[in-house]
Structure 1
Amino acid sequence: MTTTLHTNGPVARKERALAPDLIRGAMLLFIALANAANFAFRGQPGLDPTPYGMERVVNFLMSLLVDSRAYPVFAVMFGYGLVQIARRQGDAARRVLMRRNVALIVFGFAHATLLYFGDFLGAYGIVGILATWLLLRRSDRFHRLILWLWGLQTVYAVVLAVIVLTTASGGDATLTNKPNPSLAASSYAASIADRLAEWPVHTATVIPFIIIVWLGIWAARHRILENPAQHRTLLRRTAVAGLGIAIAGGLPYALVSAGWLHVSAGTVDAMAFLHALTGEYGGPGYVALFALIATRNRVTTAIAALGQRSMSGYLFQSVAWVALFSPWALGLTGTWPALVAAVGIWAVSVSIAHRMRGAGPAETALRRFTYR
């Protein structure tokens, strides 16, 4: 005799919590800023290596607030969403989550092949499978381990910062963008071939963000974003500590990127590592900040509407970047085209999402596969 596990389907719009949607919608602007810059400079981190005038300010702010500080937000939210889905599905949770994560890998492969090597959907799917099997059914006591891990990492970050600053040496090294062949390809066919080689390597390098996803799982088990008003003290402390560490750790590298600090090549590399490590704290920091904003209702429904359709918004951005920045398309380059395009495309996606009645096309396809 076999038992059929029935799924409850996706959460209805009226049942959705405001804070998670606001966070996803607002942070898609940061994703747009980062990815548009990658396309515009044909590589990473997507900053002008010889900034002049106001370009120095843009480089500084991008390094300090955006680069390596936006994707951790979605890692936290991904972990949070895993628990929300599992809680809603009950006994069918594991089956539903496995189908959803497999679908994300398929979406990621298609996204990377057709549009952008820097896809995160596939990595989310892989991490989601690992988290579903290894983390979701654990006890509260087990999940407290993630707080200890973040505590140990914080100690390491402080020690690293001291070492980097005390061993820094002067010089005339400049920031350089690591080229990505697919972004500079002379034809669409050539870009596909390059992306097929780049995506697996990129995905393998970002899978360790499971430590950030795990933090989102811990937060969801305590329903922090469903009831942000009840957790104001925790959210304030997290916002201050998380963003404080992210900004402090990223400041030396940001000064170098702006051309206001001149150091040796070895020092630049050390500062870049510190910048990337402390960028992880931007995840919980920004999540807490926007959750606090949600408690005060200082939010337009349009941004939350985009957050409800964040996957569609993310893919829409990639289509725009290919059309605007690819050498075989419009071929735009430079700081200002990237900045204007990022803000403009995000604003357009907000407007479109606000006018939509149902789920976005990507969400619809994902839900059909997940819930049958």
Structure 2
Amino acid sequence: MTTTLIATDHRGPVTGAERALAPDLIRGGMLLLIGLANAANFAFAGQPGLNGSPHGLERILNFLKITLVDARAYPVFAVMFGYGLVQLARRQRNSGTTASGVRKILLKRNAWLVAFGLVHATLLYFGDFLGAYGLVGIVCTLVLLNRGDRFHKIVLWIWGAQVVYVLVAAALTVLATVNSSGPAHVMTNSPNPSLGATNYWSSMVDRLHEYPAHTAFVLGFVVIVWLGIWAARKQVLENPAAHKTLLTRVAVVAMSITFLGGLPQALVAAGWLHVDEAAMSKMEFLHNLSGQYGGPGYIALFALLVIRINKTSLPVQAISALGQRSLSGYLFQSVSWMILLAPFTLNLGDRFGNTAYTAAGAAVLVWTISVIAAYQMKKRSYRGPAETLLRKLTY
């Protein structure tokens, strides 16, 4: 009997033994913060998704949301996206795939991500990041991935220079706060018509108008993705113990920047500080600028945690299983918010009377369900529906 071997210019999916724990744990854990941000946007039909006149525990929720979640969660996934690009390319090269074959796989995969993003934004949520990731991934594949180490050090200088920019923004914010003399400015949600629409068809039409501008705005995180490319080339997360000093420094510096940069606006959001509109504008700029450092900051914290935790414990396995299926988990969240929080579905935020508590509770519940579901998929060796589809389309 003759056996015919079919040659392929790519290798199969990564096996469990090949996976590093840190990237999966980061993606799985940070999906909770993504959920807290997006559920609140849905519930309040706008951004940042909070009650501008908080009372009781709402003050604490607002404070934590501004300092630890808003503009701080998505940079984590931007860094991890860049990290994943290098991992995928390295794995294909090591299996014998040609350079042109690797580039073709990456370009095709990212093109399909653009398509995933368009469908996601059209049907579920205008604030999609998949399309932007796909576009940035195409740029990185063509421009960044095959550069040398000296070239990639440029991104470190960019981030270092941006620290100076943050310090200037902080000084201007303090000055504006001290000189604040006008009427107190209360934080309000910037409305998104698609989130406030009273029927699904109207919401879809609104999303098609909102999505292009949102995608254009987030394309600027190519520098954040580039940082992930640099870290992946150093294999920082594959062996965090060997990079403990670097990770400790990044965690301390980056998290200090991201927390302190969000602190002024958080105090206003909690109702503990009252400033005029000019000062509030400076606070908002500082909040968004400093939030980028949440990407490397959170990643460093998780990597340091991996050094110390029991890797076989059930919670760690379950959360990392969600991280392995983060695309499915992300899309599952959007479906959940549409069902639970949209005005034309269950609209639980209004029905339960306290929108902030409802949004936070829904985020924790949906994330917990996704962790349990991902663990069950892991036990059955099922990759996840979105991951399976993307792989079939890519290869």
**TM-score band (shorter)?**
over 0.9
Of 225, 228, 231, which residue of structure 2 is paired with 1:219?
A: 231
Amino acid at match of 1:110: V
* Cross-structure match for 2:35: 32
User: Size of the alignment, in residue pairs?
Assistant: 368
1:346 to partner: Cα distance: 0.3
Tell whether the 8 Å contact from 2:26 to 2:302 is kept in structure 1 after alignment. yes
SS in 2 for 1:327: coil
Tell me how far apart the structure 1 counterparts of residues 333 and 310 of structure 2 sit (CA, whole Å).
25
Q: Deviations over 1:151-204 (max 9, x none)?
A: 110011001101111122144110010000000111111111000010011000
1:119 to partner: Cα distance: 0.4
**Are 2:364 and 1:355 equivalent residues in the alignment?**
no
1:99 to partner: Cα distance: 0.7
Tell me how far apart the structure 2 counterparts of residues 24 and 62 of structure 1 sit (CA, whole Å).
19
TM-score by length of 2: 0.92
1:297 to partner: Cα distance: 2.2
* Cross-structure match for 2:195: 183
Tell me how far apart the structure 1 counterparts of residues 135 and 187 of structure 2 sit (CA, whole Å).
32
1:5 to partner: Cα distance: 6.9
Amino acid at match of 2:302: F
Tell me how far apart the structure 1 counterparts of residues 322 and 245 of structure 2 sit (CA, whole Å).
28
* Cross-structure match for 1:232: 244
Amino acid at match of 2:358: P
* Cross-structure match for 2:133: 124
Tell me how far apart the structure 1 counterparts of residues 223 and 291 of structure 2 sit (CA, whole Å).
13
* Cross-structure match for 1:23: 26
Tell me how far apart the structure 1 counterparts of residues 290 and 109 of structure 2 sit (CA, whole Å).
30
Q: Deviations over 1:265-322 (max 9, x none)?
A: 1111110110000000000000000011111124620000000000000000000000
Whose radius of gyration is greater, 1 or 2? 2
Alignment of 1:235-250 (within 5 A): 235-250=247-262
Of 137, 142, 167, which residue of structure 2 is paired with 1:158?
A: 167
Tell whether the 8 Å contact from 2:46 to 2:192 is kept in structure 1 after alignment. yes
* Cross-structure match for 2:342: 326
SS in 1 for 2:348: coil
Tell me how far apart the structure 1 counterparts of residues 70 and 12 of structure 2 sit (CA, whole Å).
36
Tell me how far apart the structure 2 counterparts of residues 269 and 283 of structure 1 sit (CA, whole Å).
23
* Cross-structure match for 1:309: 325
1:47 to partner: Cα distance: 1.1
* Cross-structure match for 2:81: 78
1:118 to partner: Cα distance: 0.3
TM-score by length of 1: 0.97
Alignment of 1:130-209 (within 5 A): 130-168=139-177, 169-170=180-181, 171-209=183-221
**Are 2:131 and 1:115 equivalent residues in the alignment?**
no
Tell whether the 8 Å contact from 2:172 to 2:282 is kept in structure 1 after alignment. no
Q: Deviations over 1:103-124 (max 9, x none)?
A: 1000000000000000000000
Range with bigger deviation, 170-179 or 76-85:
170-179
Of 318, 323, 340, which residue of structure 1 is paired with 2:361?
A: 340
1:246 to partner: Cα distance: 0.1
Amino acid at match of 1:321: W
Aligned alpha-carbon RMSD (Å): 1.0
Tell me how far apart the structure 2 counterparts of residues 194 and 167 of structure 1 sit (CA, whole Å).
36
Amino acid at match of 1:117: F
Q: Deviations over 1:205-251 (max 9, x none)?
A: 00000010000000000000001110011011111111110001000
1:74 to partner: Cα distance: 0.1
Tell me how far apart the structure 2 counterparts of residues 296 and 164 of structure 1 sit (CA, whole Å).
38
Of 103, 107, 123, which residue of structure 1 is paired with 2:112?
A: 103
Tell me how far apart the structure 1 counterparts of residues 261 and 86 of structure 2 sit (CA, whole Å).
31
Tell me how far apart the structure 1 counterparts of residues 280 and 214 of structure 2 sit (CA, whole Å).
22
* Cross-structure match for 1:365: 389
* Cross-structure match for 2:297: 285
**Are 2:266 and 1:254 equivalent residues in the alignment?**
yes
Tell whether the 8 Å contact from 2:176 to 2:282 is kept in structure 1 after alignment. no
Amino acid at match of 1:359: R
Alignment of 1:24-63 (within 5 A): 24-63=27-66
Tell me how far apart the structure 1 counterparts of residues 111 and 16 of structure 2 sit (CA, whole Å).
24
Amino acid at match of 1:362: A
Q: Deviations over 1:10-33 (max 9, x none)?
A: 212221100000000000000000
Amino acid at match of 1:104: L
Amino acid at match of 2:383: A
Amino acid at match of 2:335: V
SS in 2 for 1:335: helix
Of 276, 288, 291, which residue of structure 2 is paired with 1:276?
A: 288
